[in-house]
């Protein structure tokens, strides 16, 4: 029997009740799914927001790059040039040396030192009495410090109120009030400025003072933006009138010099900065007695104070340099050089004859420019031998020694000025500064140029009046 089709309204009722029954049966499942979807959406949103907040906090808390905004080197007046003739007449002045032996010894050292006729002596040498005094020492200090600080503030545009930290290094002169207090007073700096005085650290202290500024700026956040670093030395108080040969050497190689730099972590100043400090390292080898006494201030047998540079100094510098670069090398060398070095160490260990030695990595593959410690002719030559540097690599150090002598803490900045005067640097270049100091210490700074220098050297570059004569054909 054939059934007649259901009326349309009846079929609609059946569909409606079927859907209603299905909805009632599926309600718990749909509710659970809705809860799951909602929970997943909330979790995803919360995770995304948390990641964004953490990223923002990380970016805000991460130390900004530390930059060398600019620097200045002191160039004393022309009438302070210490030629060989002047130096010879000075040591022959009545009453200075009664015994001709120390005079002859200093002549020989001077002639072999690598110093030229354009280095600068301290003010007391050009006075009638030629007697070192506290007044002379303060004059020497203030001339260099004020000239370089005035210049670097003018060049950078950093105001006195923007200076948060003052670091002064002067190895042989620690007056009261301190030199940093002298600067605070002269420039009327803020009462909450943080000041540091480094003394007794020798020629490495310029590099170490920049390292200190680097560490302070990295940890100071936005509250500490700009550090003024001043690197100077007192030739006046370190002049030695005795007859001990190891102490007479300082009379022959140390000369007047001073440098000041503004180091900053302010990212808004990056466009006007010269270089970014990408690595710094300082090693101290004073636990070894021979290293500790390699360069030391003491009294001679007549009670006259001087700085003794012992015969062991060159050996100590060589050993300390090797230890220093063992730490520095993995941080800066390309992988190819590290692999070659490791291979040479393994070959030495496996050698039955024991005549193999590890190779010295080629540091010129990591740096376009190297500022070698300008401590003296023997020191530069020894660094060149240990590091396998060519004459072209040590040229800036040799020429700086000839033109300015050993200016102690500021010496690597006179080398930096040499590179700029020669127009040898460009954006992206890496530069290694290395210096040695009493204690015995070794310090390294690794910089990267963040912009091309100006087409012409700055007006206060200390090489402006002589760069056309360098490099010298003989040294």
Give yes or no: residues 82 and 220 share one domain: yes
188 is catalytic: no
Q: What is the pLDDT of residues 445-458, one digit of tens each?
A: 999 999 998 878 89
> Per-residue pLDDT for 93 more than 60?
yes
What is the pLDDT confidence band of residue 318, given thresholds at 50, 70 and 90? very high
Q: Do 93 and 237 reside in the same domain of the chain? A: yes
Residue 26 or 213, more confident: 213
In a domain, 143, yes or no: yes
In a domain, 5, yes or no: no
406 is catalytic: yes
The residue-averaged pLDDT of 134-152 equals: 96
**Token representation of residue 210:** 């920049």
Instruction: Tell me the average pLDDT across 418-443.
Output: 95
Which one is catalytic: 265, 373, 402, 461?
Answer: 373
Q: Which two structure tokens, joined as six digits, stand for 4?
A: 């007649």
Query: Could you tell me the two tokens for 67?
Result: 């930059």
Pairs from 97-101 (Cβ < 8 Å, separation ≥ 24) = 97/241, 97/243, 99/243, 101/243
Domain final residue pick, 19, 45, 62: 62
Residue 15 and residue 135 share a domain:
no
Q: Answer whether residue 379 shows pLDDT above 50.
A: yes
Mean per-residue pLDDT over the chain, rounded? 88
The pLDDT of residue 108 is above 50: yes
Which pLDDT value is given to residue 58? Answer: 46
- pLDDT of amino acid 59: 47
Please check whether residue 456 lies inside any domain of the structure. Answer: yes
Last residue of a domain, one of 44, 62, 80: 62
Regarding whether 346 and 242 lie in a shared domain, the answer is yes
Measured CA to CA, the distance from residue 89 to residue 98 in angstroms comes to: 14
> What's the gap between Cα 243 and its chain centre?
36
Single out the catalytic residue among 203, 252, 258, 371: 203
Q: Which tokens in the block code for residue 281?
A: 């390292």
| Structure confidence by residue, pLDDT tens digits, 325-378 | 989 999 999 998 888 888 887 877 777 666 667 778 899 999 999 999 998 999
Let me know whether 182 and 144 are in one domain.
Answer: yes
Contacts of 138 (CB under 8 A, 6+ apart): 175
Higher-pLDDT residue of 17 and 161 is 161
Taking the C-alpha atoms of residue 382 and residue 100, their distance in angstroms, rounded to an integer, is 31
- Exposed, middle or buried, 245 (CB in 10 Å: 0-12/13-18/19+)? middle
Residue 52's domain spans which residues? 11-62
What is the Cα–Cα distance from 391 to 411, expressed in whole angstroms?
19
Q: The whole model's pTM is what? A: 0.85
Residue 54 shares a structural domain with residue 81: no
pLDDT of 122 = 95
Taking residues 165-194, report their average pLDDT: 94
pLDDT exceeds cutoff 50 at 224: yes
Q: Please identify which of the residues 369, 371, 402, 461 carries the catalytic annotation.
A: 369
- Quick one: 273 and 409 in the same domain? yes
Domains in the chain: how many in total? 2
Share of the chain above pLDDT 90, in %: 69
Name which of 14-28, 123-137, 225-239, 270-284 the model is least confident about.
Answer: 14-28
One of 70, 197, 402, 406 is an active-site residue; which one?
A: 406
- pLDDT tens for 297-315 read 999 999 999 999 988 899 9
- pLDDT computed for residue 361 by the predictor: 87
Bridge-partner residues for 230, per DSSP? 168, 260
**For the range 191-194, what are the long-range contacts, defined as Cβ-Cβ under 8 Å and sequence gap of 24 or more?**
193/163, 193/164, 193/165, 193/166, 194/164, 194/165, 194/166, 194/224
Assess whether 64 carries a catalytic annotation.
no
Residue 79 covered by a domain: yes
The pLDDT score that the predictor gives to residue 3 is 44
CATH number at residue 151: 3.40.47.10
- Residues 45 and 157 both lie in one domain: no
Q: Name which residue leads in pLDDT, 74 or 14.
A: 74
**Is the same domain home to 134 and 18?**
no
Is residue 3 included in any domain, yes or no? no
Residues 51 and 144 in one domain: no
- Residue 455 tokens read as 């087409």
28 pLDDT tier (thresholds 50, 70, 90) = low
Is residue 474 included in any domain, yes or no? no
If asked whether residues 353 and 456 sit together in one domain, one would say yes
Q: Which of 47, 62, 77 is the last residue of a domain?
A: 62
Kindly report, residue by residue over 268-282, the tens digit of the pLDDT: 999 999 999 999 999
Of 254, 252, 276, 282, which is closest to residue 264 (Cα–Cα)?
276
Evaluate whether residue 122 is within a structural domain.
Answer: yes
Res 1: pLDDT: 43
Question: Parallel, antiparallel, or unpaired: how do β-strands 165-170 and 258-264 relate?
Answer: unpaired
User: Quick check: is 386 in a domain?
Assistant: yes
pLDDT digits (tens, 9 = 90+) for 40-62: 667 777 677 666 655 555 445 55
155 and 219 part of one domain: yes
Q: What is the pLDDT of residue 2?
A: 45
């Amino acid at each position: 029997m054939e059934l007649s089709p259901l009326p349309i309204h009846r079929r609609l009722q059946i569909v409606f009740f079927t859907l209603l029954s299905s909805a009632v049966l599926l309600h718990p499942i749909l509710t659970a799914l809705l809860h799951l979807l909602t929970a997943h959406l909330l979790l995803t949103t919360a995770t995304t927001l948390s990641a964004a907040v953490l990223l923002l906090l990380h970016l805000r808390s991460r130390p900004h790059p530390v930059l060398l905004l600019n620097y200045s080197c002191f160039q004393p007046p022309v009438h302070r040039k210490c030629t060989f003739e002047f130096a010879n007449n000075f040591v022959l002045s009545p009453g200075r040396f009664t015994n001709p032996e120390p005079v002859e010894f200093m002549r020989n050292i001077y002639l072999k030192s690598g110093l030229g006729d354009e280095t600068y002596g301290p003010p007391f040498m050009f006075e009638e009495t030629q007697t070192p005094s506290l007044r002379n020492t303060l004059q020497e200090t203030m001339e260099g410090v004020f000239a370089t600080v005035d210049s670097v503030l003018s060049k950078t545009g950093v105001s006195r109120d923007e200076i948060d930290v003052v670091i002064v290094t002067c190895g042989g002169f620690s007056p009261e009030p301190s030199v940093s207090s002298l600067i605070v007073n002269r420039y009327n700096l803020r009462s909450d400025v943080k000041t540091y005085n480094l003394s007794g650290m020798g020629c490495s202290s310029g590099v170490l003072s920049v390292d200190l500024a680097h560490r302070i700026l990295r940890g100071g956040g936005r509250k500490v933006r700009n550090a003024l670093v001043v690197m100077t030395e007192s030739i006046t108080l370190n002049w030695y009138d005795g007859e001990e040969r190891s102490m007479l050497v300082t009379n022959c190689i140390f000369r007047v010099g001073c440098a000041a730099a503004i180091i900053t972590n302010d990212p808004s100043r990056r466009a006007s900065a010269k270089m970014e400090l990408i690595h710094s390292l300082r090693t101290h080898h004073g636990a070894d007695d021979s290293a500790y006494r390699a360069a030391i201030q003491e009294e001679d047998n007549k009670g006259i104070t001087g700085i003794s540079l012992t015969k062991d100094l060159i050996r100590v510098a060589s050993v300390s340099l090797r230890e220093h670069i063992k730490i520095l090398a993995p941080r800066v060398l390309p992988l190819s050089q590290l692999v070659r070095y490791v291979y040479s160490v393994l070959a030495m260990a496996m050698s039955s004859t024991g005549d193999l030695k590890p190779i010295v990595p080629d540091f010129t593959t990591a740096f376009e420019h190297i500022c070698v410690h300008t401590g003296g002719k023997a020191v530069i030559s020894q660094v060149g031998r240990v590091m396998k540097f060519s004459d072209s690599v040590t040229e800036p150090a040799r020429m700086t020694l000839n033109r300015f002598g050993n200016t102690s803490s500021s010496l690597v900045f006179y080398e930096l000025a040499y590179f700029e005067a020669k127009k040898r640097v460009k954006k992206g270049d890496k530069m290694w500064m290395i210096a040695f100091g009493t204690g015995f210490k070794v310090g390294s700074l690794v910089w990267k140029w963040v912009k091309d220098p100006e087409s012409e050297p700055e007006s206060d570059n200390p090489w402006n009046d002589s760069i056309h004569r360098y490099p010298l054909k003989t040294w």
